[in-house]
Amino acid sequence: MRCTIRLAGVVLSVFSFLLSFGAANGATPHRGRPDPGYVSSPSDVQLTLAQYQSELSRIDQQLKSLVEHPELAKDLRSSIPEEWEISTSSGTFDIDNQDIRSRLERYAERNADRGEILPELEFKVESQLEGAREFDRPTDSSAHNKLETILQGREYRNLSRSPSPYDILKERVMALVMRLFSKLFRIASAHPRISKVLLWVIIASVILGFAVWMYFLLRRPAGDEYSFPRDGGALFPSSKPWQEWLRNAHAAAERGDWRDAVHLAYWCSISYLESTGVWKPDRTRTPREYLRSFKPQTGAGGRREPLEALTWRFESVWYAQQAASLDDFQFSLAQLDKIGCR
């Protein structure tokens, strides 16, 4: 935590230097004139936490209706402001909506990509809604005691309660970097020519870092994006027996590829339920649409909860690209067992 605070201090120092340099050269911050193709968006909106949750619920419901009425995407985008200002008892927070708005715009314009964009949008909005609900819950005064009880367990016996030599070394290096930056800025502020050189070095570093990030982003394997795994030319999940999906999941786990193991375990559940007649095969169906396909008359109602839990874990490691682990795979296998894949 202390390293993070110091790093934030370095960033603020750099930002302060840039502002002071701009002021010294007669520059004043201003908003650029919108280009001719600019389309006005709703102004920023101030909301309470309860209103914020209500707005997210509204957006979530309208996202679900886009499956049957994709033409409403533009109206939904227009109803979402560029930014929300949320007032809470802990302070005021700004929530940027540019990502949601841009995805809705892509959804409205790219018919071929709708099957991938919509579940990502649903996952993002539902994650924000869950986060807002968690924020609104009262603090558990016994949380610290519960944490201490958990840390006394055998599985945490090797956990260090004090900073390791490596952590201490990192803090010292960070402190040294902080001192060097402070000294460099003091020298630069006293020499305008050095200030200009330093400014351009910082700008070039930011541009170079962005270019490197874009390079690795574009080189990311296509498998990282969501797609239905069409092994052997299968057109829908049940074209391959669920036992084979499960074997492939275990094979991925043996390789240590936990992300793919969870991915294959999810499709094992879909293949199993599809082969038992819970729904008709349809390769274009999204994970959330599979959940909505459960009907009381199918007799599969008791399997919805484990499938929902498995879907949430699958989306977390696949869409949100969170790090997967053995625990994630074991959790997925437990849900498969509840569904009936034994």
Q: Please provide residue 83's backbone torsions phi and psi, each rounded to the nearest 5 degrees.
A: -155, 145
Is the pLDDT reported for residue 262 higher than 90?
yes
Amino acid 226: pLDDT: 45
Amino acid 155: pLDDT: 59
Q: How is residue 52 written in tokens? A: 């914020």
Instruction: Please give the Cα distance from 76 to 95 (Å, whole number).
Output: 17
Amino acid 35: pLDDT: 39
Kindly state whether residues 128 and 190 are assigned to the same domain.
no
Is the pLDDT reported for residue 96 higher than 70?
yes
Are 336 and 249 in contact by the 8 Å Cβ rule? The answer is: no
pTM, rounded to two decimals = 0.37
Instruction: Please give the Cα distance from 275 to 278 (Å, whole number).
Output: 8
Instruction: Please give the Cα distance from 82 to 101 (Å, whole number).
Output: 8
Residue 338, Ramachandran bin (φ over 0: left; ψ between -120 and 50: alpha; else beta): alpha
Kindly state whether residues 237 and 212 are assigned to the same domain.
no
Q: What is the mean pLDDT of residues 42-61?
A: 84
Residue 300 sits in a domain whose CATH number is 1.20.120
Is 25 within the bounds of a domain?
no
In the chain, how many domains are there? Answer: 3
Q: How many Cβ atoms from other residues are within 10 Å of residue 84's Cβ? A: 19
pLDDT band at 253 (very low <50, low <70, confident <90, very high): very high
Range with the largest mean pLDDT of 110-124, 281-295, 299-313: 110-124
Amino acid 319: pLDDT: 82
Question: Over the stretch 215-224, which tens digit does the pLDDT of each residue have?
Answer: 877 765 444 4
Is 8 within the bounds of a domain?
no
Kindly state whether residues 207 and 248 are assigned to the same domain.
no
Residue 85, domain extent: 45-136
Is 253 within the bounds of a domain?
yes
Helix, strand, or coil here: 226? coil
Partners of residue 83 on adjacent β-strands = 96
Kindly state whether residues 235 and 329 are assigned to the same domain.
yes
How high does pLDDT run on average in the chain? 77
- Residue ending a domain, among 157, 190, 219, is 219
Instruction: Please give the Cα distance from 271 to 247 (Å, whole number).
Output: 13
Q: How is residue 77 written in tokens? A: 């985008």
pLDDT band at 158 (very low <50, low <70, confident <90, very high): low
Is 208 within the bounds of a domain?
yes
Is 38 within the bounds of a domain?
no
Instruction: Please give the Cα distance from 48 to 66 (Å, whole number).
Output: 27
Q: How many Cβ atoms from other residues are within 10 Å of residue 224's Cβ? A: 10
Amino acid 331: pLDDT: 92
Question: Over the stretch 163-213, which tens digit does the pLDDT of each residue have?
Answer: 778 878 888 898 888 888 777 777 777 777 777 887 888 888 889 988 888
- Residue ending a domain, among 174, 194, 219, is 219
Kindly state whether residues 239 and 200 are assigned to the same domain.
no
Q: What is the mean pLDDT of residues 96-109?
A: 89
Is 23 within the bounds of a domain?
no
Amino acid 304: pLDDT: 82
